[in-house]
Structure 1
Amino acid sequence: MADEKLYLYPIWIRIWHWLNAVFFIVLLLTGISMQYSNPDNPFLISFELSVQLHNIFGILISINYLIFIIGNLFTSNGKQYKMKTKGLFKRLYDQSVFYLFGMFKKQDPPFDISVENKFNPLQRFIYSTAMYIGFPIIIASGFALLFPEIIIPQIFGLSGILITALIHVIIGFILSLFLFIHIYVCTIGASISSNFKSMITGWH
């Protein structure tokens, strides 16, 4: 398997992936800027510009996410996010042990990459959670903040806008952690750059 060349990433996935990365990074930077900026002392980006860019790129990443969902519905890529529950915890454990210890001992990974399974069990679990739970929540809460009139005024006696904003920030923070972990894991390959090249050429 180590010497076999596999075409894992068709052009639409590669374009979607890089657009998603750019959009998310802009949203991360503008989100941080809005959190810590003030009119007299801008942080990274001025507050007014951050708000405008955050709204624009929030809409763009929502459109891009819709493309992802449609693509997964009508291509074989969707099956990469389906998990078999039988033996799931054992597979997650084996892959976690490999990431924590095995790869530093030059052990072979417990699961081979193939056209049918381009993600290992831990990747599949995390990617599925991020894309089918995290992204819908952050997009829905983002649109609610963009159109606050649709938010319920009071939720359990607290401001509906406050709760929506907290959910948006918390999920954004979790997805940001996912981004950094994703980048790190991508450096684990035949070389530091091999996985990044795969998302450019499509070949693993």
Structure 2
Amino acid sequence: MASEKLYLYPIWIRIWHWMNAILFITLLVTGVSMQYSNPENPLLISFERSVELHNLCGILISLNYLLFFIGNLFTSNGKQYKMKTKGLLTRIFNQSVYYLFGMFKKQDAPYPISAENKFNPMQRFIYSTAMYVGFPIIIASGAAMLFPEIIVPQVFGFSGLLLTAIVHVIIGFILSLFLFIHLYVCTIGSSISSNFKSMITGWH
């Protein structure tokens, strides 16, 4: 059966995607280095350099997110992140069964990729949650830590700065898990490299 070639990723999406990947990985490395480095024996990067890089990449990824948000607002790509709640759990279950069993038996995907639906139901739910919930929270908490004078000093008797830092780290950890899962899922296309090539050429 011949497969149809689809142009799914216009140039602005590819630029945003690769910038997001580079900046997020740099934020992950510098964040871990800040958390665990001994100033006298740096784990990955010196603490001072990690802080500088983390702050810079945090600003850049925020601007890059603005590109994503505006792009989705004014192009058809935004509809890819809209979910129909009716039957959502059933669709996610069907996709889960495929990922766990079906694809290893060479079964057809229950929700094949098309120009109208770049994401299967599970991807749509996870990507929408990551981009419209996780990213705004981590950007807002990061901005607050960059300008700590705007943070409420006390929240129910707890330090506002500490609570902001905890939220930032937790969301960063969750988004890091998303990154690793995303990379794995990208390897299960028609070949290990096919999905990565798609994000370079735009063609699926």
Partner of 2:20: 20
Identity of aligned residues (%): 81
CA distance in 1, matches of 2:107, 2:2: 13
Partner of 1:71: 71
Partner of 2:132: 132
Q: CA deviation at 1:106?
A: 1.1
Q: How many residues get paired? A: 204
1:42 aligns with 2:47: no
Amino acid of the residue matched to residue 29 of structure 2?
L
Amino acid of the residue matched to residue 17 of structure 1?
H
**Structure 1 spans left out of the alignment, 5+ residues:** none
CA distance in 1, matches of 2:106, 2:26: 37
Q: CA deviation at 1:156?
A: 1.4
Residues 99-110 of structure 1 aligned to structure 2 (within 5 Å): 99-110=99-110
Partner of 1:149: 149
CA distance in 1, matches of 2:199, 2:171: 26
Q: CA deviation at 1:182?
A: 0.1
Kindly report the root-mean-square deviation, in angstroms, between the aligned alpha carbons of the 2 structures. 0.8
Q: Deviations over 1:25-65 (max 9, x none)?
A: 00000000000012111010000000000000000000000
Partner of 1:190: 190
CA distance in 1, matches of 2:5, 2:175: 31
Amino acid of the residue matched to residue 48 of structure 1?
E
Partner of 1:89: 89
**Structure 2 spans left out of the alignment, 5+ residues:** none
Residues 2, 57 of structure 1: CA spacing in aligned structure 2 closer, same or farther, 3 A cutoff? Answer: farther
CA distance in 2, matches of 1:123, 1:110: 13
Partner of 2:123: 123
Runs of 4 or more, structure 1, over 4 Å off, are: none
Partner of 2:163: 163
Q: So what's the TM-score if we normalise by structure 2?
A: 0.99
Q: Secondary structure at the match of 2:112?
A: coil
